[in-house]
Amino acid sequence: MIRLLQIDSSARPGRSGEQPHGAHTRRLSARFVRRWQSLRPRDAVTCRDVAATPPTPVTGAWVHAAFTPPGQREPWMRDTLAESDALVDELIAADLIVIGVPMYNFGMPSTLKAWIDNVVRVGRTFGFDRSRAGEPYWPLLAGQGKRLVLLSARGDHGYEPGQRLAADNHVEAGVATPLRYIGIDAVERVAIEYDEFADERLQASIAAAEAEVDALVHRLANLAAARRAA
């Protein structure tokens, strides 16, 4: 069984094509999960909406608690880390992490950044030992076969590698880099562009992205079936 973790981060609560002013990223993430379940109905799906329920931003108390060895933590420290522990547990349990992430001012929504800050955690998702020779940091989720799928939407166009605004795109790298740091280094990406233009170019971009999502679902489902058969 493959376990999916679906994360939505758009401030828009609905899906484009279904609700007025709905989110393109929610449209893509819902399509991905729906298509996946049609092919693999027994797989488990956990949904987390970080826009509707934003994770608590990291504070000084959180940092103090996280870097205190578990056996030495006071009750307030365990309480401070309880939400982070739940988010980390969800991530550790997942095989496929599907994140809908719109571009806000060239980067990800602040609520998704808060989620990342809660799950990139010393002792839980990465290790640290200052006395270790060479690299003192190491990923704790490496080698588990986890895969990240980033489904984005942008108001303008030309943000892909080699295009006119590629250097201004801090979305995919902003999500993928910290998750690669903890060991999730297989990344897929699909994006809708031209949202602010709201013309035939947007419609063509939506259609192309949906076709990419469908093809990606089939490819990853076939990969999962092949691994099980091996």
pTM of the model: 0.96
Q: How far apart are CA 156 and CA 193, in angstroms?
A: 6
Q: How far apart are CA 189 and CA 204, in angstroms?
A: 18
Q: How far apart are CA 83 and CA 160, in angstroms?
A: 35
Binding residues for FMN: 10, 103-106
What is the average pLDDT score of the chain?
Answer: 96
Reported as a single tens digit per residue, the pLDDT across 92-117 is 999 999 999 999 999 999 999 999 99
Binding residues: 10, 103-106
Reported as a single tens digit per residue, the pLDDT across 8-65 is 999 999 999 999 999 999 999 999 999 999 999 999 999 999 999 999 999 999 999 9
- What's the confidence (pLDDT) of residue 198? 94
Domains in the chain: ranges and CATH:
3-229 (3.40.50.360)
Neighbours of 106 (CB within 10 A): 15
The HSE-up count of residue 83 (CA atoms within 13 Å, CB side) is 16
